[in-house]
Amino acid sequence: MARALVIGGGPAGLMAADELAAAGHRVVLADRMPSMGRKLLMAGKSGLNLTKAEPRAAFDAAYGEMPDGLRAALEGFGPDEVQAWARDLGQDIFTGSTGRVFPVEMKASPLLRAWLARLGAAGVDLRTRWRFAGWEGGTALFDTPEGRQGIEAEATVLAMGGASWARLGSDGAWAKVLAEDVAPFRPANMGFGVAWSAHMRAHFGAPVKPVALIAGARRVRGECVISARGLEGGGIYAVSADLRDGAALAFDLLPDLDLAQVKDRLARPRGKASLSNHLRKALGLDPVRLALLHEWARPLPGDPAALAALLKGLPVPLGAPHPLDEAISTAGGLRFSALNEDLMLRDRPGVFAAGEMLDWEAPTGGYLLTACLATGRHAGRAAARRLGTVR
């Protein structure tokens, strides 16, 4: 019998295994993929954003109405603790101008190698290509290259991810096992389709900046990217939950000017200049934002007040969100109502859950990874307490 079993080799599972091993317990860590941390490595390709250094009230607000279990986990392991943890793994870190915290090397691979080395030194038994197949009594079943295998453990932490990026290991198949306690998966931090006209092809791949995105009552300053399929990028991701849930989107193409300033500049004499040249010279509109204005507001109104209103709130005709498997993360998953304050399943004592498989969502920018680490730590420590003193 294994004293402790962790299922899932992403950040939450690795953190749970780390906590259990640090408490002196024998740990088996099983993952369905050929190697651990694949989604973490992919996230780090564009710079591994570990957390966000900002006032704690602002940090917590990014999660919306937090369930008690998530709040407790983040209270114990927030942005400061994430930074200390990374340094303890030998990673030098820095904070960017927006408060985002990164390893100096930017990539995830050095951190993951150091983490796996620490787990190996602590005696954690890593098993890859082991896919969870449910329980038979108190035995966790796995489909493995050697056929069906079973592990009976005194404490188990589930950390099998959400339902996005199936090729990296998060396919949500575990939800069939816990179906009664699972909220339906929905995409989070995803792009949206736009039916572009032909003249926009020249701008595919171009960033839209500066811009503020207005989705219902939410206003976010952040750039997005025009793609052949629609709009993507951090600005869109920050309001994606509102858009997914029915809010309309508008762009403030001049976020550094108020409405009165825009009106005043538009009222300046333009002589023989075309309206596009006037917009470029008087307001500093670049070709990308000009193209969007013509795409969605043709013909442009001649009245300065009406044109100013458009520039400060250009309606964006979005299509459907990009598919679930293309989303950076997912909403839905294991409901917190099925868990106690230690993130233990009420109907299955000794089994805990952590990470993206729980029903919470957060924007990109370090919030996702921090919460995965925090819930993994919280569940791992609770599992270690349940196991008690090392025998």
The pLDDT tens digits for 116-144 are 999 999 999 999 999 999 999 999 999 99
* 66-104: pLDDT as tens digits: 999 999 999 999 999 999 999 999 999 999 988 999 999
Main-chain phi, psi angles of 282, to 5 degrees: -75, -30
pLDDT at 1: 55
CATH number of 2-187+326-387: 3.50.50.60
pTM for this model (two decimals)? 0.91
Is the confidence at residue 220, as pLDDT, over 70?
yes
What are the residue ranges of CATH 3.50.50.60 in the chain?
2-187+326-387
pLDDT at 135: 95
- Measured CA to CA in angstroms, residue 200 lies from 20, 96, 206, 274 at distances of 54, 32, 10, 20
Beta strands per DSSP E along the chain: 2-7, 27-31, 51-52, 93-95, 100-103, 125-128, 131-136, 139-144, 147-158, 182-188, 192-193, 207-208, 212-215, 218-221, 224-227, 230-232, 249-252, 314-316, 329-334, 351-353
Is the confidence at residue 282, as pLDDT, over 70?
yes
